[in-house]
Amino acid sequence: MYRKMLSPAAAKVFSLLLLFISSWEICSVKSTVTYDRKGLIINGQRRILFSGSIHYPRSTPEMWPDLLKKAKDGGLDIVDTYVFWNGHEPTRGKFYFEGRYDLVRFIKLAQQAGLYVTLRIGPYACAEWNFGAFPAWLKFIPGMEFRIDNQPFELEMQKWVTKIVDMLKAEKLFETQGGPIILSQIENEFELVEWNLGDRARVYGQWAAHMAIGLNITVPWIMCKQANAPDPIIDTCNDFYCDWFSPNKDYKPKMWTENWTAWVQQFGTPPLYRPHEDLAYSVLKFIQTGGSMNNYYMYHGGTNFDRTNGAFVATSYDYDGVIDEYGLPSEPKWGHLSELHKVIKTCEPTILNSEPTVIPLGPHQEARVFNPPTGGCVAFLSNHDPNLPVNLTFWNLQYELPPWSISVLPDCRTAVYNSAIVTARKTEKKMIPFQGALQNWESYSEGTSSSDSSKTFVKYGLTEHLFLTRDTTDYLWYTTEVFIDPSEGFLYNGQDPLLNIMSAGHGLNVYVNDQLQGLHHGSLETPQVTFSKKVKLRGGVNKISLQSVAVGLPNIGTQFEKWNLGVLGPVTLSGLNEGTRDLAKQNWTYKIGLEGEDLGLPFTGGNSSVQWVQGPTLAKNWPGTWYKTTFDAPEGNDPLALDMRTMSKGLIWVNGHGVGRYWSASIAYGNCSPHPCYYGGFMNNQKCLSGCGKPSQIWYHVPRSWLKPTGNLLVVFEEWGGDPTGISLLRRTI
């Protein structure tokens, strides 16, 4: 836990602050964003600000205006987003700012909705996003080390951050230019890396801060979870509760950049919930202890479309957000927090113009009273007891408080809001099938080795997966030949030889002479895959084919860019007459990606030369199979989803748009046992876990804007084997 620092010499602080403010004033006479210990000061006015995270690529531009309006209507002042470098520069020097990656459009729409913007440029985003938002090519620049004092990294980072800042300045998007951006973040939760890596990390952290300051963005920079953020950067808190937090200087405001509305879901964990009562309690506790900016992470979580999820992260990024994945308000969460925001707004000047007096009212109960000489009186009554309700007497009046709750008295007499008393109406959401399962499926089966394709190449030994794919696909084939002298006989004392394979992750599908030997995968905790099985070989040439599979790149950890993927060995065949043969020491034939990807199946379904089959010959429960069909859009505007529970694992495209990775095989069922709830007063699994022992995710969001009225092309690649005739289209309704 952070301990408040003693304030340094007041004179020094004051002159620093003056310097900071005056440098803004050179740029713009009228609009300013400054701060003091009580809060941000926007155009001269000190504010309590409510903020919510909405990551632009996790929804579609067509959804943005409605999401932003719902955020504004819900009482938010700010929308907060990361900038996703690998979405914008998938190939070095080739930039993409269209569609879901149209950052400027998103920021302008936020302004039109009446919201400010916090832009977390990073460029490290974490965010359960593929590779923490670093482009895969970055890793392969010679001498590269991420997020540490390393010249190649610092050069690329500075180039990128400068490009973004220049773009936003050119569009006049900073508040001081008349735009909505009031805060910008450099780096992201770096403190942890510093503790792990020491001096070189510390040097880089300070370099990043000073590089950012040098960009003259004219609004404050923040660094979350960075107690040593150099002045004038504001260090901010990320946690389930942040009332304990103090910034590193007493003239900086107390701000909470990530108030987790729940927690991320992986393939293999159940959906996680955070009770809205607890969320509201945490926000009030923060504000009554001097907090002035709170950001819900996530306000709208959305979807990890395409292949944008971090390693093993589910495609739904719902996050139990205030607005659900499909863009519908999660009630009563949305309503309960809207009321909180409204009440606090009525108290804003009173809270900002005074320090609270703390009046103990019991062992776990207290009042905090804001009563400035300028007038007004606001009281917060707290019952921090997690289990027992209480009656409190405060200034001669009685108040009943539920356990783990805070009441707001905007006139110090009338309790108009309590964090645990929910008056907003709960709404049930339904998924309604549209015309039952989809019909008229056709199938196309992939080959079972690299030799089935023309786009192969030979290399001696085993090569790292990402080095070859550069993350342009999840799949990489490794194929080699094993010659067994027929004259020796090949029964080896009546025993088949043992094939041993180690893969660094994430998935490994093994074929010997085109016969499937096993479909294996790791997990977030243990991405490595081990295969060890006796296999039947024949006299002469045998073919061993390994399909290595990525399930998103890691987004967190110390130097995660150094983590490898794919079959790196050992690969051995033991129990031969000669003993053990080391297959790592011979030629391998490689093939990047799937044959179906080369044929353009995801985008067009392929041309007339692709031999799709249908009817009784439709392949079912067969690994490495492509499926396609067409469907008409259901009438109306309800959000849509595909129900994938009869399938196992793979990828989905609709009209060429990547719906995402799906994984509904039993191995990706919600395993609740290692996931206790840790939400303060709600140490209770009933409150935040559901769906244990069911697939982590069965519904996959298909944005309306991707559809035409009729003839929409749905393509699915099934890696393990499934039955497409069970796939159905659903409407989500309230």
Ramachandran area for residue 176 (φ above 0: left; ψ -120 to 50: alpha; else beta): alpha
Which CB sits closer to ligand NAG, 91 or 393?
393
Q: Is 719 in the site for ligand NAG (CB under 6 A)?
A: no
CB of residue 398 vs ligand NAG: minimum separation in angstroms? 7
Give the count of alpha carbons within 13 A of 346, CB side only: 15
Please say whether the beta carbons of 300 and 323 come within 8 A. Answer: yes
CA distances to 122, 156, 207, 464 from 153, in Å: 13, 5, 12, 21
CB of residue 125 vs ligand NAG: minimum separation in angstroms? 7
57-65, 210-218, 652-660, 715-723 -> range binding ligand NAG (CB under 6 A): 210-218
38-46, 326-334, 388-396, 404-412 -> range binding ligand NAG (CB under 6 A): 388-396
Which CB sits closer to ligand NAG, 263 or 627?
263
Which CB sits closer to ligand NAG, 391 or 705?
391
347-355, 384-392, 543-551, 560-568 -> range binding ligand NAG (CB under 6 A): 384-392
Position among 389, 433, 539, 711 found at the interface with ligand NAG (CB under 6 A): 389
Active site residue 258: yes
Which CB sits closer to ligand NAG, 342 or 459?
459
Q: Is 400 in the site for ligand NAG (CB under 6 A)?
A: yes
Which CB sits closer to ligand NAG, 228 or 346?
228
Q: Which residues contact 630 (CB under 8 A, 6 or more apart)?
A: 440, 711, 712, 713, 714
Please say whether the beta carbons of 699 and 730 come within 8 A. Answer: yes
Site track 418-457 with ligand NAG (rule: CB under 6 A), x = hit:
----------------------------------------
CB of residue 226 vs ligand NAG: minimum separation in angstroms? 10
Please say whether the beta carbons of 499 and 535 come within 8 A. Answer: yes
Burial (CB count within 10 angstroms: exposed 0-12, middle 13-18, buried 19+), residue 610:
middle
> How far apart, in whole angstroms, are the C-alpha atoms of residue 129 and residue 58?
10
Which CB sits closer to ligand NAG, 189 or 452?
189
Closest CA to 450 of 560, 565, 650, 598: 598
Which CB sits closer to ligand NAG, 358 or 610?
610
CB of residue 460 vs ligand NAG: minimum separation in angstroms? 6
Position among 264, 344, 501, 576 found at the interface with ligand NAG (CB under 6 A): 264
> How far apart, in whole angstroms, are the C-alpha atoms of residue 386 and residue 278?
10
- Written as one string, the DSSP assignment of 483-524 is EE-GGG-S-TTT-PPEEEEEESSSEEEEEETTEEEEEEE--S
Q: Is 311 in the site for ligand NAG (CB under 6 A)?
A: no
Position among 251, 260, 286, 531 found at the interface with ligand NAG (CB under 6 A): 260
Position among 22, 608, 637, 710 found at the interface with ligand NAG (CB under 6 A): 608
CB of residue 550 vs ligand NAG: minimum separation in angstroms? 20
Which of the residues 229 through 258 are near ligand NAG (CB under 6 A)? 238, 258
Please say whether the beta carbons of 384 and 361 come within 8 A. Answer: no
Which CB sits closer to ligand NAG, 83 or 352?
83
Q: Which of 154, 189, 464, 481 is catalytic?
A: 189
Q: Which of 258, 331, 561, 597 is catalytic?
A: 258
Which of the residues 587 through 606 are near ligand NAG (CB under 6 A)? 587, 599
Question: Residue 663 is inside which H or E element, if any?
Answer: strand 657-663
Q: Is 194 in the site for ligand NAG (CB under 6 A)?
A: no
Cα 394 to the center of its chain, rounded Å: 44
CB of residue 84 vs ligand NAG: minimum separation in angstroms? 12
Cβ-closest residue to ligand NAG? 126
Closest CA to 322 of 75, 594, 45: 75
Give the count of alpha carbons within 13 A of 103, CB side only: 25
Give the count of alpha carbons within 13 A of 545, CB side only: 20
> How far apart, in whole angstroms, are the C-alpha atoms of residue 86 and residue 307?
11
CB of residue 276 vs ligand NAG: minimum separation in angstroms? 18
Q: Is 609 in the site for ligand NAG (CB under 6 A)?
A: yes
Please say whether the beta carbons of 409 and 416 come within 8 A. Answer: yes
Residue 462 corresponds to which tokens in the numbers above? 């085993």
For residue 223, the cross-strand partners are: 235
CB of residue 493 vs ligand NAG: minimum separation in angstroms? 28
Q: Is 391 in the site for ligand NAG (CB under 6 A)?
A: yes
Q: Is 458 in the site for ligand NAG (CB under 6 A)?
A: yes
Question: Residue 575 is inside which H or E element, if any?
Answer: strand 567-576
Please say whether the beta carbons of 220 and 257 come within 8 A. Answer: no
CA distances to 81, 183, 343 from 78, in Å: 10, 10, 17
Q: What b/e sequence results for 209-244 when a residue is b if at least 16 CB atoms lie within 10 Å of its CB, and e otherwise?
A: bebbbebebbbbbbbbbbeebbbbbbbbbbbbbbbe
Q: Is 33 in the site for ligand NAG (CB under 6 A)?
A: no
260-268, 465-473, 701-709, 718-726 -> range binding ligand NAG (CB under 6 A): 260-268
Active site residue 464: no
CB of residue 257 vs ligand NAG: minimum separation in angstroms? 8
- Under DSSP, the state recorded for 174 is B
Which of the residues 119 through 158 are near ligand NAG (CB under 6 A)? 126-128
CB of residue 297 vs ligand NAG: minimum separation in angstroms? 6
Q: Is 170 in the site for ligand NAG (CB under 6 A)?
A: no
CB of residue 27 vs ligand NAG: minimum separation in angstroms? 9
Q: Is 607 in the site for ligand NAG (CB under 6 A)?
A: yes
Dihedral, CA of residue 177, residue 180, residue 182 and residue 186, to nearest 10: -100
Interacting residues with ligand NAG (CB under 6 A)? 126-128, 188-189, 214-216, 224, 238, 258, 260, 263-264, 389-391, 400, 458, 460, 587, 599, 607-609
Give the active site residues: 189, 258
